[in-house]
Amino acid sequence: MSKTLTPIPATPADAAEVLVLQRCCWAGEAISNNDLSIPALSEPLEVVRSWMPQAWVLRDGTRLVGAVRAHRDEDTWQIGRLMVAPDRHGQGLGRLLLAHVESQAPDGVTAFELFTGTGSERNIGMYQRAGYREVRRNEALVFLRKPKGSA
């Protein structure tokens, strides 16, 4: 990364751009996982707009290059929709977004959780390097968890 980018809170005005980025990102995931039924590919704009208060976007100038969302589920911070523009992969933006969303966890959260497709080896590797460990998997998904405060 040539310059430092900083995630900022998403607003409803970001929703349309996030939806376009989401579709671009999950098209690749659909291919990697041989599954075109991934919800992120068919999620309507209204749904994306509804989770904007719990999301952060990453812009390079005016261009949206990444986003992530999270919500609290009891003592767990559920992280989802972590996305980076395909032409910006390998520049540390995914790690930046992941670290940022972890830092936004409210008091009382004791762990972070997320999931990705079983065929998403690049994602799984990034999450494992960030300290996440696989806790379960099914035919389609790998679920990973990391205690809050661990490396």
> Over the chain, what is the mean pLDDT?
93
The number of distinct structural domains making up the chain is 1
**Is 151 a residue whose pLDDT tops 70?**
no
Decide: residue 136, CB within 10 A, 0-12 exposed, 13-18 middle, 19+ buried: exposed
CB 116 within 8 A of CB 146: no
pLDDT (0 to 100) of residue 28: 85
- Is 3 among the domain residues? no
Segment 76-126, tens digit of pLDDT: 999 999 999 999 999 999 999 999 999 999 999 999 999 999 989 999 999
The band of 1, judged by pLDDT with boundaries at 50, 70 and 90, is very low
Provide mean pLDDT across the span 116-141.
94
pTM here? 0.92
Identify the domain containing residue 134 by its residue range.
8-147
- Is 21 among the domain residues? yes
**CA dist list (Å): 137 to 7, 14, 97, 112:** 30, 32, 24, 16
CB 90 within 8 A of CB 126: no
Q: In terms of pLDDT, which residue wins out, 64 or 149? A: 64
The encoded tokens of residue 25 equal: 């990102």
Which CATH number fits the domain that encloses residue 53? 3.40.630.30
Q: Residue type at 48?
A: V
Give me the percent of the chain exceeding a pLDDT of 90. 82
Q: In terms of pLDDT, which residue wins out, 38 or 138? A: 138
Q: Where are the beta strands (DSSP E) in the chain?
A: 8-9, 55-60, 63-73, 76-84, 111-117, 133-137, 141-147
**Is 35 a residue whose pLDDT tops 60?**
yes
